């Protein structure tokens, strides 16, 4: 049993609340010279939405774990904080699209010149490792999926698109890889199926209704039944704020 657990209802809520925030994140300019979301061509809009989803997921898991365990040393990539300023960590990504873990620190005995010795932070316990890939390409999804086997997090999740002809097409393809692996060493593995980002918004950049997401959990032999599913849409009362 993982030390830092998540209630699957909480995971459901995090996924279900994503559409309320993704457009807001996608529309926020990282740099003044950056094009606004509405100015982008479709391909780049899809990419911006995908990046916003990853940012939302990492930050939401970070908030959830910090609150649940009253532990401010649990951080995520992407984080809600500026980890370069807070921890001295310059990377914007830590091996996976989303990584959540408990961080400790030590002070180096090496002389850093006249600079004050600052703590060196490192991930001491890996809680979540997540890959999100919307390319409708089995090879690309398989490469990202295989990264999750190499990781040592308590929880791992692959996020992939619905197949063009079959909702769980890519999930069934990845099952072939899982069947060849002896053990996941207690790792809890999920597969989240989302609509492709091209289907998230309409021509007026408004969030579309009618989309569904599906969450599966590996049971050691198969993906089993859907453990959660819901609408991938913005509630009508919240659309005006986006």
pLDDT tens-digit map of 46-92: 999 999 999 999 999 999 999 999 988 888 888 776 666 666 666 66
Whether 20 maps to a domain, the answer reads yes
Extract the runs of DSSP E, i.e. beta strands, from 67-204: 74-77, 98-106, 120-132, 155-161, 188-194
Whether 153 maps to a domain, the answer reads yes
189, 184, 191, 101: which is closest to 150 by C-alpha?
184
Query: Is the pLDDT at 141 greater than 70, yes or no?
Result: yes
Whether 241 maps to a domain, the answer reads no
Can you give the residue range of the structural domain that contains 150? Answer: 8-107+116-235
Average pLDDT over residues 177-198: 88
Alpha carbon distances (Å) from 211 to 4, 201, 216 = 31, 10, 17
Q: Distance (Å, rounded) from C-alpha 67 to C-alpha 173?
A: 37
36, 33, 56, 55: which is closest to 44 by C-alpha?
36
Whether 173 maps to a domain, the answer reads yes
- First-to-final CA distance of the chain: 39
Average pLDDT over residues 126-155: 92
Express each pLDDT in 23-50 by its tens digit.
999 988 877 778 888 888 989 999 999 9
Parallel, antiparallel, or unpaired for β 212-217 and 226-231?
Answer: antiparallel
Contact present, 160 and 170 (Cβ < 8 Å): yes
Whether 127 maps to a domain, the answer reads yes
Query: Is the pLDDT at 236 greater than 70, yes or no?
Result: no
Highest mean pLDDT among 108-112, 121-125, 191-195, 231-235: 191-195
pLDDT tier at 241 (50, 70, 90 boundaries)?
A: very low
Whether 242 maps to a domain, the answer reads no
pLDDT tier at 97 (50, 70, 90 boundaries)?
A: very high
Mean pLDDT of the residues in the chain:
85
Q: Give, in degrees to the nearest 5, the angle at Cα 129 between 123 and 135.
A: 140
- For the chain, percent of residues with pLDDT exceeding 70: 88
Query: Which pLDDT score, from 0 to 100, does residue 72 have?
Result: 85
What is the number of domains present in the chain?
1
Query: Is the pLDDT at 142 greater than 50, yes or no?
Result: yes
Alpha carbon distances (Å) from 109 to 66, 84, 86, 106, 115 = 30, 21, 21, 9, 13
Average pLDDT over residues 100-115: 73
pTM exceeds cut of 0.75: yes
């Amino acid at each position: 049993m993982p030390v830092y657990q998540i209630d699957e209802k909480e995971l459901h809520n995090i996924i279900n609340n994503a559409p309320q925030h993704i457009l807001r994140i996608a529309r926020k300019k990282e740099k003044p010279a950056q094009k606004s979301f509405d100015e982008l061509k479709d391909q780049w809009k899809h990419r911006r939405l995908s990046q916003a989803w990853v940012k939302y997921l990492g930050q939401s898991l970070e908030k959830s774990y910090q609150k649940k365990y009253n532990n401010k040393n649990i951080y995520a990539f992407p984080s809600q904080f500026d980890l370069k300023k807070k921890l001295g960590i310059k990377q914007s990504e830590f091996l996976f699209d989303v990584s959540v873990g408990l961080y400790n620190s030590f002070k180096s005995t090496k002389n850093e010149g006249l600079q004050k010795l600052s703590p060196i932070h490192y991930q001491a316990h890996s809680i979540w490792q997540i890959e999100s890939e919307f390319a409708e390409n089995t090879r690309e999804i398989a490469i990202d999926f295989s990264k999750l086997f190499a990781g040592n997090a308590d929880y791992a999740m692959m996020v992939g698109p619905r197949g063009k002809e079959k909702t769980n097409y890519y999930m069934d393809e990845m099952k072939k890889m899982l069947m060849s692996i002896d053990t996941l060493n207690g790792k809890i593995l999920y597969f989240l199926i989302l609509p492709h980002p091209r289907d998230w918004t309409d021509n007026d950049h408004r969030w579309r209704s009618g989309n569904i997401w599906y969450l599966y959990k590996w049971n050691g032999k198969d993906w089993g039944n859907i453990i959660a599913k819901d609408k991938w849409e913005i509630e009508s009362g919240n659309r005006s704020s986006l």
